[in-house]
Amino acid sequence: ETLANQIAAGEVIERPASVVKELVENAIDAKAHTIDVLVEAAGVQLIEVIDDGLGIPADQVKAAFLRHATSKIYDKGDLFKIMTLGFRGEALPSIASVADVTLETAVPDANQGAYVQIKGNEWLTKRSGSARQGTDVTVRDLFYNTPARLKYLKSQSTEMAKIVDIINRLAFSYPQIAFHLQHNGKKVLSTPGNGNLQQVISSVYGVNNAREMLAVEAHDADFKVQGWIAKPQVTRSNRSYMTLLINGRYVKNYALTNALLKGYGTRLMVGRFPISVLQIEMDPRLVDVNVHPQKFEVRISKEGQLAALLEQMVQAAFQTVNL
Protein backbone atom coordinates (compact mmCIF):
# COMPACT_ATOMS: atom_id res chain seq x y z
CA GLU A 1 0.00 0.00 0.00
CA THR A 2 2.77 2.44 0.93
CA LEU A 3 4.61 1.48 -2.25
CA ALA A 4 1.50 1.98 -4.37
CA ASN A 5 1.09 5.41 -2.77
CA GLN A 6 4.69 6.29 -3.47
CA ILE A 7 4.28 5.31 -7.10
CA ALA A 8 1.18 7.47 -7.34
CA ALA A 9 3.10 10.24 -5.58
CA GLY A 10 5.68 9.99 -8.34
CA GLU A 11 3.01 11.16 -10.73
CA VAL A 12 0.98 13.53 -8.59
CA ILE A 13 3.61 14.99 -6.25
CA GLU A 14 6.57 16.14 -8.24
CA ARG A 15 7.67 19.05 -6.09
CA PRO A 16 6.52 21.28 -3.21
CA ALA A 17 4.27 23.27 -5.55
CA SER A 18 2.32 20.07 -6.35
CA VAL A 19 1.58 19.63 -2.64
CA VAL A 20 0.41 23.22 -2.41
CA LYS A 21 -1.79 22.77 -5.46
CA GLU A 22 -3.46 19.61 -4.14
CA LEU A 23 -4.05 20.97 -0.64
CA VAL A 24 -5.36 24.32 -1.82
CA GLU A 25 -7.63 22.65 -4.37
CA ASN A 26 -9.02 20.49 -1.57
CA ALA A 27 -9.72 23.64 0.43
CA ILE A 28 -11.49 25.17 -2.58
CA ASP A 29 -13.54 22.00 -3.05
CA ALA A 30 -14.49 22.27 0.63
CA LYS A 31 -15.95 25.73 -0.13
CA ALA A 32 -13.44 27.67 1.95
CA HIS A 33 -13.74 31.46 2.03
CA THR A 34 -10.23 32.01 3.34
CA ILE A 35 -7.16 29.90 2.61
CA ASP A 36 -3.86 30.48 4.42
CA VAL A 37 -0.72 28.88 3.03
CA LEU A 38 2.41 28.88 5.19
CA VAL A 39 5.63 27.70 3.64
CA GLU A 40 9.10 27.20 5.08
CA ALA A 41 12.25 26.57 3.03
CA ALA A 42 10.28 26.68 -0.23
CA GLY A 43 8.03 23.93 1.06
CA VAL A 44 10.62 21.26 1.78
CA GLN A 45 10.54 21.91 5.53
CA LEU A 46 6.89 22.85 5.87
CA ILE A 47 3.75 23.40 3.87
CA GLU A 48 0.68 24.23 5.91
CA VAL A 49 -2.73 24.96 4.42
CA ILE A 50 -5.47 26.23 6.70
CA ASP A 51 -9.00 26.62 5.42
CA ASP A 52 -12.40 27.52 6.84
CA GLY A 53 -14.28 25.06 4.64
CA LEU A 54 -16.68 22.26 5.42
CA GLY A 55 -14.15 20.02 7.17
CA ILE A 56 -14.12 16.25 7.31
CA PRO A 57 -16.42 14.32 9.65
CA ALA A 58 -14.32 12.62 12.35
CA ASP A 59 -15.26 9.12 11.23
CA GLN A 60 -14.05 9.82 7.68
CA VAL A 61 -10.67 11.30 8.43
CA LYS A 62 -8.80 8.01 8.09
CA ALA A 63 -10.55 7.18 4.84
CA ALA A 64 -9.40 10.47 3.35
CA PHE A 65 -5.88 9.02 3.38
CA LEU A 66 -6.83 5.80 1.62
CA ARG A 67 -6.23 5.56 -2.09
CA HIS A 68 -9.18 6.36 -4.33
CA ALA A 69 -11.32 7.14 -1.31
CA THR A 70 -12.60 10.35 -2.82
CA SER A 71 -15.81 11.79 -1.44
CA LYS A 72 -16.33 13.65 -4.67
CA ILE A 73 -18.35 12.55 -7.65
CA TYR A 74 -17.72 13.46 -11.21
CA ASP A 75 -18.79 13.03 -14.76
CA LYS A 76 -16.09 11.10 -16.55
CA GLY A 77 -17.34 12.34 -19.90
CA ASP A 78 -16.21 15.90 -19.65
CA LEU A 79 -13.29 17.29 -17.70
CA PHE A 80 -14.72 20.78 -17.91
CA LYS A 81 -18.00 19.71 -16.36
CA ILE A 82 -16.31 18.45 -13.21
CA MET A 83 -17.45 20.78 -10.50
CA THR A 84 -14.76 19.86 -8.00
CA LEU A 85 -11.05 20.17 -8.64
CA GLY A 86 -10.15 16.83 -7.09
CA PHE A 87 -11.81 13.61 -8.09
CA ARG A 88 -9.20 10.89 -7.95
CA GLY A 89 -8.66 10.47 -4.25
CA GLU A 90 -4.90 10.23 -4.70
CA ALA A 91 -3.48 13.42 -3.30
CA LEU A 92 -3.62 12.89 0.46
CA PRO A 93 -2.34 9.29 0.43
CA SER A 94 0.39 10.26 -2.04
CA ILE A 95 1.54 13.18 0.09
CA ALA A 96 1.47 11.07 3.27
CA SER A 97 3.71 8.50 1.57
CA VAL A 98 6.51 11.01 0.97
CA ALA A 99 6.25 13.36 3.97
CA ASP A 100 5.14 13.62 7.59
CA VAL A 101 1.56 14.80 7.62
CA THR A 102 -0.89 16.03 10.21
CA LEU A 103 -4.50 16.98 9.58
CA GLU A 104 -6.83 18.68 12.02
CA THR A 105 -10.40 19.23 10.97
CA ALA A 106 -13.87 20.05 12.17
CA VAL A 107 -17.20 20.25 10.40
CA PRO A 108 -19.52 23.24 10.96
CA ASP A 109 -21.00 23.45 14.47
CA ALA A 110 -19.04 20.43 15.71
CA ASN A 111 -18.42 20.04 19.43
CA GLN A 112 -15.10 18.46 18.68
CA GLY A 113 -12.73 18.11 15.81
CA ALA A 114 -10.49 15.26 14.71
CA TYR A 115 -6.74 15.01 14.41
CA VAL A 116 -4.57 12.56 12.55
CA GLN A 117 -0.82 12.32 12.31
CA ILE A 118 0.89 10.05 9.79
CA LYS A 119 4.61 9.33 9.93
CA GLY A 120 5.72 6.55 7.65
CA ASN A 121 3.46 3.60 8.48
CA GLU A 122 2.59 4.97 11.89
CA TRP A 123 -0.83 6.46 12.40
CA LEU A 124 -2.03 8.43 15.35
CA THR A 125 -5.65 9.54 15.43
CA LYS A 126 -7.35 11.36 18.24
CA ARG A 127 -10.02 13.88 18.99
CA SER A 128 -8.88 17.41 18.62
CA GLY A 129 -9.33 20.08 21.20
CA SER A 130 -10.17 22.63 18.57
CA ALA A 131 -13.59 22.69 16.99
CA ARG A 132 -12.71 25.53 14.62
CA GLN A 133 -14.60 24.88 11.39
CA GLY A 134 -12.31 23.86 8.56
CA THR A 135 -9.16 21.92 7.95
CA ASP A 136 -5.51 22.49 8.76
CA VAL A 137 -3.00 20.24 7.00
CA THR A 138 0.72 20.30 7.70
CA VAL A 139 3.28 18.58 5.49
CA ARG A 140 6.80 18.36 6.89
CA ASP A 141 10.09 17.03 5.54
CA LEU A 142 8.82 16.48 2.03
CA PHE A 143 10.61 13.65 0.17
CA TYR A 144 12.55 12.63 3.32
CA ASN A 145 12.24 9.02 2.18
CA THR A 146 12.72 9.56 -1.56
CA PRO A 147 16.17 11.19 -1.82
CA ALA A 148 16.21 11.02 -5.62
CA ARG A 149 13.19 13.25 -5.75
CA LEU A 150 14.64 15.63 -3.22
CA LYS A 151 17.82 15.92 -5.24
CA TYR A 152 15.87 16.69 -8.39
CA LEU A 153 14.40 19.86 -6.87
CA LYS A 154 15.70 23.19 -8.12
CA SER A 155 16.87 26.11 -6.02
CA GLN A 156 14.63 27.43 -3.25
CA SER A 157 13.80 30.54 -5.25
CA THR A 158 12.73 28.46 -8.26
CA GLU A 159 10.60 26.11 -6.16
CA MET A 160 9.05 29.07 -4.35
CA ALA A 161 8.29 30.78 -7.66
CA LYS A 162 6.35 27.69 -8.70
CA ILE A 163 4.35 27.80 -5.47
CA VAL A 164 3.58 31.48 -5.97
CA ASP A 165 2.51 30.74 -9.52
CA ILE A 166 0.01 28.10 -8.38
CA ILE A 167 -1.51 30.42 -5.77
CA ASN A 168 -1.65 33.33 -8.22
CA ARG A 169 -3.63 31.46 -10.77
CA LEU A 170 -5.99 29.93 -8.23
CA ALA A 171 -6.50 33.46 -6.87
CA PHE A 172 -7.45 34.62 -10.38
CA SER A 173 -9.85 31.71 -10.80
CA TYR A 174 -11.46 32.26 -7.40
CA PRO A 175 -11.57 36.00 -6.70
CA GLN A 176 -14.26 35.36 -4.07
CA ILE A 177 -11.75 33.43 -1.94
CA ALA A 178 -9.17 35.28 0.18
CA PHE A 179 -5.72 33.74 -0.30
CA HIS A 180 -2.83 34.45 2.03
CA LEU A 181 0.64 33.14 1.35
CA GLN A 182 3.64 33.39 3.70
CA HIS A 183 7.18 32.22 3.16
CA ASN A 184 9.51 31.88 6.16
CA GLY A 185 7.16 34.10 8.14
CA LYS A 186 7.03 36.86 5.53
CA LYS A 187 3.90 37.81 3.64
CA VAL A 188 4.13 36.99 -0.06
CA LEU A 189 0.56 37.48 -1.24
CA SER A 190 -2.79 38.44 0.14
CA THR A 191 -5.98 38.81 -1.87
CA PRO A 192 -9.15 40.44 -0.54
CA GLY A 193 -11.60 37.64 -1.39
CA ASN A 194 -14.37 40.05 -2.32
CA GLY A 195 -14.96 38.72 -5.81
CA ASN A 196 -13.24 41.62 -7.53
CA LEU A 197 -10.79 40.29 -10.15
CA GLN A 198 -9.27 43.71 -10.66
CA GLN A 199 -8.19 43.80 -7.01
CA VAL A 200 -6.74 40.31 -7.25
CA ILE A 201 -4.62 41.44 -10.19
CA SER A 202 -3.27 44.41 -8.28
CA SER A 203 -2.59 42.24 -5.20
CA VAL A 204 -0.71 39.71 -7.30
CA TYR A 205 1.30 42.00 -9.56
CA GLY A 206 1.37 45.22 -7.58
CA VAL A 207 0.03 47.16 -10.54
CA ASN A 208 -2.13 50.23 -10.34
CA ASN A 209 -5.17 49.13 -12.29
CA ALA A 210 -6.47 52.57 -13.09
CA ARG A 211 -3.15 53.82 -14.46
CA GLU A 212 -1.56 50.68 -15.85
CA MET A 213 -4.35 48.34 -16.94
CA LEU A 214 -7.25 48.50 -19.36
CA ALA A 215 -10.58 46.76 -18.94
CA VAL A 216 -11.50 44.83 -22.07
CA GLU A 217 -14.42 42.82 -23.28
CA ALA A 218 -15.58 41.20 -26.46
CA HIS A 219 -17.99 38.55 -27.58
CA ASP A 220 -19.29 36.74 -30.61
CA ALA A 221 -21.76 33.90 -31.12
CA ASP A 222 -19.49 31.36 -29.38
CA PHE A 223 -17.25 33.25 -26.97
CA LYS A 224 -17.55 35.85 -24.27
CA VAL A 225 -14.34 37.48 -23.08
CA GLN A 226 -13.68 39.95 -20.32
CA GLY A 227 -10.78 40.97 -18.18
CA TRP A 228 -7.77 43.23 -17.90
CA ILE A 229 -4.79 43.86 -20.12
CA ALA A 230 -1.76 45.98 -19.38
CA LYS A 231 -0.89 49.14 -21.22
CA PRO A 232 2.06 48.48 -23.54
CA GLN A 233 4.62 49.96 -21.15
CA VAL A 234 3.54 47.63 -18.32
CA THR A 235 5.34 44.54 -19.50
CA ARG A 236 7.31 41.63 -18.10
CA SER A 237 9.97 39.40 -19.53
CA ASN A 238 7.93 36.24 -20.04
CA ARG A 239 4.57 34.85 -20.98
CA SER A 240 3.70 33.61 -17.51
CA TYR A 241 2.17 37.00 -16.72
CA MET A 242 -0.51 36.33 -19.33
CA THR A 243 -3.35 34.38 -17.76
CA LEU A 244 -6.23 32.78 -19.62
CA LEU A 245 -9.18 31.37 -17.70
CA ILE A 246 -11.62 29.27 -19.66
CA ASN A 247 -14.89 28.77 -17.83
CA GLY A 248 -13.04 29.74 -14.66
CA ARG A 249 -10.12 27.35 -15.14
CA TYR A 250 -6.56 28.36 -15.76
CA VAL A 251 -5.38 27.10 -19.14
CA LYS A 252 -2.38 27.47 -21.38
CA ASN A 253 -2.78 28.09 -25.05
CA TYR A 254 0.06 29.49 -27.09
CA ALA A 255 -2.07 30.46 -30.08
CA LEU A 256 -4.35 32.56 -27.92
CA THR A 257 -1.60 34.43 -26.07
CA ASN A 258 0.02 35.03 -29.46
CA ALA A 259 -3.22 36.54 -30.70
CA LEU A 260 -3.13 38.99 -27.77
CA LEU A 261 0.46 39.91 -28.58
CA LYS A 262 -0.51 40.44 -32.22
CA GLY A 263 -3.22 42.80 -31.04
CA TYR A 264 -0.59 44.95 -29.35
CA GLY A 265 1.42 44.93 -32.59
CA THR A 266 4.42 47.25 -32.58
CA ARG A 267 3.26 48.94 -29.37
CA LEU A 268 5.03 46.13 -27.54
CA MET A 269 8.81 45.89 -27.40
CA VAL A 270 10.24 42.66 -28.73
CA GLY A 271 10.63 40.06 -25.98
CA ARG A 272 8.24 41.84 -23.63
CA PHE A 273 4.88 40.49 -22.51
CA PRO A 274 1.92 42.40 -21.09
CA ILE A 275 0.33 41.44 -17.77
CA SER A 276 -3.14 40.22 -18.66
CA VAL A 277 -5.92 38.20 -17.09
CA LEU A 278 -8.81 37.20 -19.31
CA GLN A 279 -11.91 35.27 -18.43
CA ILE A 280 -13.30 33.41 -21.43
CA GLU A 281 -16.71 31.77 -21.32
CA MET A 282 -17.70 29.18 -23.87
CA ASP A 283 -19.68 26.02 -24.37
CA PRO A 284 -17.58 23.38 -22.55
CA ARG A 285 -17.97 21.11 -25.55
CA LEU A 286 -15.68 23.44 -27.51
CA VAL A 287 -12.79 22.56 -25.20
CA ASP A 288 -10.84 19.41 -25.94
CA VAL A 289 -11.49 16.93 -23.14
CA ASN A 290 -8.60 14.63 -23.94
CA VAL A 291 -6.11 16.52 -21.87
CA HIS A 292 -4.21 15.30 -18.86
CA PRO A 293 -5.50 16.98 -15.70
CA GLN A 294 -1.98 17.80 -14.54
CA LYS A 295 -1.26 19.75 -17.68
CA PHE A 296 -2.85 23.01 -18.61
CA GLU A 297 -2.56 23.05 -22.38
CA VAL A 298 -5.97 22.78 -23.98
CA ARG A 299 -7.16 22.58 -27.53
CA ILE A 300 -10.21 24.53 -28.49
CA SER A 301 -12.34 23.98 -31.52
CA LYS A 302 -12.90 27.28 -33.32
CA GLU A 303 -9.56 28.35 -31.87
CA GLY A 304 -8.89 30.56 -34.92
CA GLN A 305 -12.17 32.36 -34.38
CA LEU A 306 -11.36 32.99 -30.72
CA ALA A 307 -7.82 34.12 -31.58
CA ALA A 308 -9.22 36.66 -34.05
CA LEU A 309 -11.69 37.90 -31.45
CA LEU A 310 -8.88 38.42 -28.90
CA GLU A 311 -6.64 40.19 -31.39
CA GLN A 312 -9.42 42.57 -32.43
CA MET A 313 -10.37 43.16 -28.82
CA VAL A 314 -6.85 44.33 -27.97
CA GLN A 315 -6.58 46.48 -31.09
CA ALA A 316 -9.90 48.12 -30.36
CA ALA A 317 -8.90 48.82 -26.76
CA PHE A 318 -5.91 50.84 -27.92
CA GLN A 319 -7.83 52.68 -30.59
CA THR A 320 -10.24 54.16 -28.09
CA VAL A 321 -7.77 54.91 -25.35
CA ASN A 322 -5.30 57.71 -25.14
CA LEU A 323 -2.07 56.15 -23.91
| Nearer residue to Mg ion within complex by CB, 90 or 100 | 90
- Return the DSSP state at 269: P
Q: Which of 162, 164, 241, 173 is nearest to 207 (CA)?
A: 241
Contact assessment for residue 32 and residue 9, using Cβ atoms and an 8 Å cutoff: no
CA–CA distances in Å: residue 303 to residues 256, 287, 299: 8, 9, 8
Binds ligand ADP by CB under 6 A, chosen from 46, 58, 92, 201: 92
The DSSP H or E segment spanning 128 is strand 122-128
Residue number with CB closer to ligand ADP (103 or 275): 103
Q: Which candidate, 249, 248, 230, 244, places its Cα nearest to that of 307?
A: 244
Residue 138 touches ligand ADP, criterion: CB under 6 A: no
Residues 8-37 that bind Mg ion (CB under 5 A): 26
Distance, CA of 319 to CA of 216 (rounded, Å): 12
Near Mg ion by CB under 5 A, which window of 89-97, 119-127, 153-161, 257-265? 89-97
The residue number whose beta carbon is nearest to ligand ADP equals 86
- With CB under 6 A as the contact rule, the residue among 9, 21, 58, 70 that binds ligand ADP is 70
Identified binder of ligand ADP from the candidate list 48, 52, 90, 159, rule CB under 6 A:
90
Contact with Mg ion (CB under 5 A) among 16, 43, 53, 86: 86
Q: Which does 100 bind (CB under 5 to 8 A by kind): Mg ion, ligand ADP, none?
A: none
Which residue from 283, 6, 280 is spatially nearest to 146, judged by alpha carbons? 6
- CA distances 146 to 97, 221, 229, 237, Å, are 10, 52, 43, 35
Taking CB under 6 A as the rule, which mask of x and - marks residues 4-43 in contact with ligand ADP? ------------------x---xx--x-------------
Catalog residues that contact Mg ion under the rule CB under 5 A.
26, 86, 91
Catalog residues that contact ligand ADP under the rule CB under 6 A.
22, 26-27, 30, 51, 53-56, 64, 70-72, 86-92, 135
